[in-house]
Structure 1
Amino acid sequence: MAESGTTTTEEVGAPQKLTFMTMTAMVVGSMVGAGVFSLPRRFAQETGVAGALIAWVIAGAGMLMLAFVFQYLAVRRPDLDAGVYAYAKAGFGEYLGFFSAFGYWASACVGNVTYWVLIMSTVGAIAPALGEGDTILAVALSSICVWIFFYLVQRGVKDAAVVNRIVTIAKLVPIIVFVILALFALDPKVFADNFTGNADVGSLFEQVRGTMLVTVFVFLGVEGASVYSRHAERREDVGRATVLGFLSVFAIFASVTIVSYGILPYAQIAQLRQPSMGGVLEAAYGTWGNVFVSVGLIISVLGAYLAWSLMAAEVLYVAAKDKDMPRFLAVTRHGDVPWNSLLLSTILIQVVLIVTYFSEDAFNFALDLTSALTLIPFLLAAAYALRLAKGKYIAIAGLATVYTLFLLFAAGLKFVLVSFIVYAPATVLFVMARREQGRRVFSPRELLILAVSVAGAIVGIVALAAGWIRI
């Protein structure tokens, strides 16, 4: 029930409908954000050309299977909205569905923090007081921008979606130009010298493993169309937009990474300031190359922030409508905008921004945590598809499930424990929702899941306090 002074979706009319091209743009816009501009340095810190090629083959194949999973589920279960969350709930019950919704939402919020860190790091090249996006001034300025965007996004879903489509086109141009210019400047000898990468990291397997979380991060958004499925003009457009958006972005991301190895030795790329794409182009073409990338980054990041702000709020809103979150999160204003969900998202972004100030590496910490929080929702969605699948989709869902399990292994114990610290307190929202409905709070099975999450959170807090793991 809406609060006083607000309106529900039903009172203002039908939800705004999104076309196939708009949904495809939302998928591309969600994925093309801060991550692509950080790829050269992040990969060079872990591996060389050989490892990067293997990593992209694994990540591309795994994420394509996940894209097919979302396409399959959109067709097989057209009654389910909000994608990732709804599939987890349908397959494994309300509590794990709640965790999936919360984890996906939290990952979107933490991911939005990386955007502000990277913008401040970019401007920090000419304003040293901003550092690499992790100084007090950088956090303060980022906080101001966060609340300005809250005001803009809460004005309406339709307008924001249209703006995102325009910005998506604008931000792809500098990235594609970077790839073309880097190809012209590519030095075959430098490229060959970078082939084997950094042996100090470990075996080729360890090098590839070290890149996995960043590939998850840059592909977040592949599920964007399914999250916004309730707004689609035609249900079949959800799957088509997912696959087309993924294939387009995969080609761009892999190209950005590989061509960079032909410009500078990997050891130098690994030391570049973020956004490292700018440093690569500066090495080839001078200062204007860095400026060109920096301008493109700001456009790209602001567009991605817009898309992710919408999707984060949408997940909480649909969960609340399904009575898996407290009813106050289902309140809408300004024609279908989930206002309270958007406000809660903005508050979490603000909190994580403050936490990054105490992190050893603000950008990489936020990036890796974003990826780790997303893995449980992705795993549950893939596993649900495996339960439903018939024919060729059994293999597709099976490969997607194996891939997400491998990503959990690649993330390592550190980020699994930190994820528990985020997940466990969220149960308060689940308890609120159950009490609003006058229902029993936990079933025996749900109590077991709660015990595991709380135990993981306690271990994570002790590990942080004792210095066994660092953020």
Structure 2
Amino acid sequence: MNKGKLGLWILTALVVGNMVGSGIFMLPRSLSEAASPAGVLGAWLLTGFGVLMTALVFGNLGTRKPELSGGPQIYAKELFKPGSQASILSGFMASWGYWIGNLAGNIAIITTFAGYLSTFFPILTSRAELFTVGGFTLKVGNALTFMVCTMLLWCTHFIILKGIEQAGKLNFVATAAKVAGFMLFIVVGLFAFQKGNILPFIAPRADEAGATIGLFGQINNAAVATLWAFIGVESAVVFAARAKKKVDVKRATILGLFIALAIYIGISTLVMGMLEQKILITSEKPLIDAIETVLGPVGGKLLAGVGLISLFGSTIGWVMLSAEVPYQAAKQGLFIPAFLKEGKKGIPIFSLIVTNLLGQLFIFSTVSNSISAAFDFVIYIATLSYLVPYFIASVFQLKLVITGETYENEKGRVLDAVIATLSTLYSTWVIIAGTADLKTFAFGMILLASGIFFYGTMKRHPLYTQK
């Protein structure tokens, strides 16, 4: 009966693997650019606490509402009268936004894979011109990066076609390897840490207009970037329908969060102490540059190898999750009915194909941008796409607490109310911080609003045509 189902450790590996993906490799540079060491550490602690509250909400809803599987965006429909137009529309739009966020997230991981592969094949960063058409010039490095990203995407596609459980086990092996590699990095970093590199610990930063940004402003700016590190904490919730035991969903979520948090804070702090800030801010491969200061090129290649294994596993996990989201939403009557189509072994075949075809379009961003520029662009768009479902899940938990639904007595109700309130406040704060930039906000809203063009297909959904 449990054949093809996912156990506690595979679910935990999906959480850790999806969280500790591209962020661990690229965020030290992004964060140092946005904030001083004190601001970076403050952002990690604040985000870690906020995401812990959100993770507790996910875990709680996973056990209290196990029938609502497929991700936090599913809860949107529960905020309105069952079967109403508002319920269906909100569920559809939340699922659309969450799915788009996953697409962008996939490409952040895949482009980072290409960046670390350049340690072994420097030609991937070549600025030599291949050809020019009009005002566009294609460089050798960009062309090769595009080819590598495309190959990784479609290799992952065919791995998943062989079965969800087998892909999950492969992700588990890759995650175990990455955790071991990062622990080794932390040990080396402790010996190589230079206090002078993080001084001044508190220092002002300047925005694009040249205005000075204080400590709290830096924490505010870094919060969206640090949140990207925790995107994926809901992975076990997305796969709740495939879990062997429902209680494992909550356990995997909390366990995975603490493992990832320890890795993130440890490594990001150590990297700041291993590289001078001006070097760190301009680095395309901050972890490798940091380890090479201690172990030389051999250490850099060793860590790059760990990084490639890590990112390969993360790609599997994220593509699995991305295809699962619209499939599960369609089963709930909240997404385009064509996404209900299954292949062999219960694989959401149509969803997998469409997800990866759209992902291929995102990969075209590597043709004209540097790896770090492409990464920075997609993480902001993806993060904002995730924040709305996180907010929705928190509000739904508050609704359960207020109405008393699923609570037979007062046990745990007050604590759940406090956790849900803190999670809601945190999500609201990061949404406000993340949408302060008008360009990012506008692009994110365009991506979200684009879903409305497909909403008409919901009328052909089997759940509604039978009514």
Does the alignment reach a TM-score above 0.5? yes
Measure how far apart 1:136 and its partner are.
2.5
Instruction: Give the counterpart letter for 2:111 in structure 1.
Output: V
Gaps of 5+ in 1: 1-12, 441-471
Q: 1:438 offset after TM fit, Å?
A: 9.6
Conservation of the 8 A alpha-carbon contact between 2:224 and 2:433: yes
d(CA) in 2 for partners of 1:197 and 1:27?
34
Letter in 2 for 1:116: I
Q: What's the CA shift string for 1:20-60, capped at 9, x where partnerless?
A: 12211111111111110112211211222211221111101
**For residue 125 of structure 2, what is the aligned residue in structure 1?**
131
Q: Displacement of 1:380 after TM fit?
A: 1.0
Q: Is the 8 A contact 2:95 2:334 kept in 1?
A: no
- In structure 1, give the amino acid aligned to 2:247: E
Tell which deviates more after alignment, 28-37 or 384-393: 384-393
Which residue of structure 2 aligns with residue 391 of structure 1? 414
CA distance in 1, matches of 2:252, 2:463: 40
- Is the contact between residue 85 and residue 315 of structure 1 (CA under 8 Å) also seen in structure 2? no
What SS does the corresponding residue of 2:344 show, helix, strand or coil? coil
Output the amino acid matched with 1:242: T
Q: Distance in 2 between the 1:438 and 1:174 partners?
A: 48
Task: Name the amino acid aligned to 1:169.
Answer: A
2:388 to 376, 391, 406: 376
User: When the two structures are aligned, how many residues end up with a matched partner?
Assistant: 426
Amino acid at match of 2:267: V
Distance in 1 of aligned mates of 2:100 and 2:111 = 17
Matched, 1:241 2:248: no
C-alpha separation between the residues in 1 aligned to 2:264 and 2:283?
A: 18
Cα distance, 1:167–1:420 mapped onto 2, change above 3 Å: same
Structure 2 match to 1:433: 458
Provide the rounded CA distance (Å) in 1 between the counterparts of 2:391 and 2:368. Answer: 31
Alignment partner, residue 26 of structure 2: 38
CA contact (8 A) 2:123 2:141 kept: no
Write out aligned runs for 1:16-165 (5 A): 16-92=4-80, 93-125=87-119, 127-131=121-125, 135-165=142-172
Q: After alignment, is 282-291 or 170-179 more displaced?
A: 282-291
When residues 392 and 232 of structure 1 are mapped into structure 2, their CA distance, relative to the original with a 3 A threshold, is same
Does the 8 Å contact 1:117/1:134 carry over to 2?
A: no
Q: What secondary structure sits across from 2:6 in the alignment?
A: coil
Could you say which residue in structure 2 is the equivalent of 1:196? 202
1:359, CA displacement in angstroms? Answer: 4.6
Partner residue in 2 for 1:340: 350
SS of residue in 2 equivalent to 1:153? helix
Number of the residue aligned with 2:136? none
Residues 56, 391 of structure 1: alpha-carbon distance in 2 compared, 3 angstrom cutoff? same
What is the one-letter code of the residue matched to 1:398?
Answer: T
Whole-angstrom distance in 2 between the partners of 1:250 and 1:303? 19
**2:294 corresponds to 1:271:** no
1:302-321 aligned within 5 A: 302-321=312-331
C-alpha deviation, 1:87, in angstroms? 1.4
Q: How much does 1:269 deviate?
A: 1.0
Check if 1:214 corresponds to 2:214: no
In structure 2, what is the equivalent of residue 462 of structure 1? none
Please tell me whether the aligned partners of residues 120 and 301 of structure 2 are also in contact (alpha carbons under 8 angstroms).
Answer: no
Instruction: Determine if the alignment matches structure 1 residue 255 to structure 2 residue 294.
Output: no
Specify the code of the residue in structure 1 equivalent to 2:276.
Answer: P
Instruction: Specify the SS of the correspondent of 2:34.
Output: coil
Identity of aligned residues (%): 28
The verdict on how the C-alpha distance between 1:148 and 1:97 changes in structure 2, with shifts beyond 3 A counting, is same
Please give the secondary structure, in 1, of the residue aligned with 2:342.
coil
TM-superposed CA distance for 1:137, in Å, is 2.5
The aligned counterpart of 1:298 is 308
Given that 1:85 and 1:100 are in contact with CA atoms closer than 8 Å, whether structure 2 keeps it comes out as yes
Of stretches 366-375 and 281-290 in structure 1, the one that deviates more from structure 2 is 281-290
- After superposition, the CA RMSD in angstroms is 2.1
Out of 333-342 and 104-113, give the one that drifted further: 104-113
In the TM superposition, residue 119 of structure 1 has moved relative to its aligned partner by: 1.8
Query: Following the alignment from structure 1 to structure 2, what is the Cα–Cα distance between the partners of residues 20 and 210?
Result: 35
> What is the DSSP-based 3-state SS (H/G/I as helix, E as strand, rest coil) of the residue aligned with 2:262?
helix
1:340 positional shift? 0.4
1:261 is paired with a residue whose SS is helix
**Structure 1: distance between partners of 2:157 and 2:10:** 22
**2-structure distance, mates of 1:222, 1:72:** 13
- The TM-score normalised by the length of structure 2 is 0.86
Structure 2 residue ranges without an equivalent (≥5): 81-86, 127-139, 208-212, 402-412
Give the TM-score, by structure 1 length: 0.86
Equivalent-residue separation in structure 1 for 2:367 and 2:93 (angstroms): 27
Residue 323 of structure 1: aligned partner? 333
Does residue 283 (structure 1) correspond to residue 293 (structure 2)? The answer is yes
Say if 2:37 and 2:201, in contact at 8 Å, map to a contact too: yes
Matched-pair contact (CA < 8 Å) for 1:62–1:400: yes
Secondary structure at the aligned position of 2:333 is classed as coil
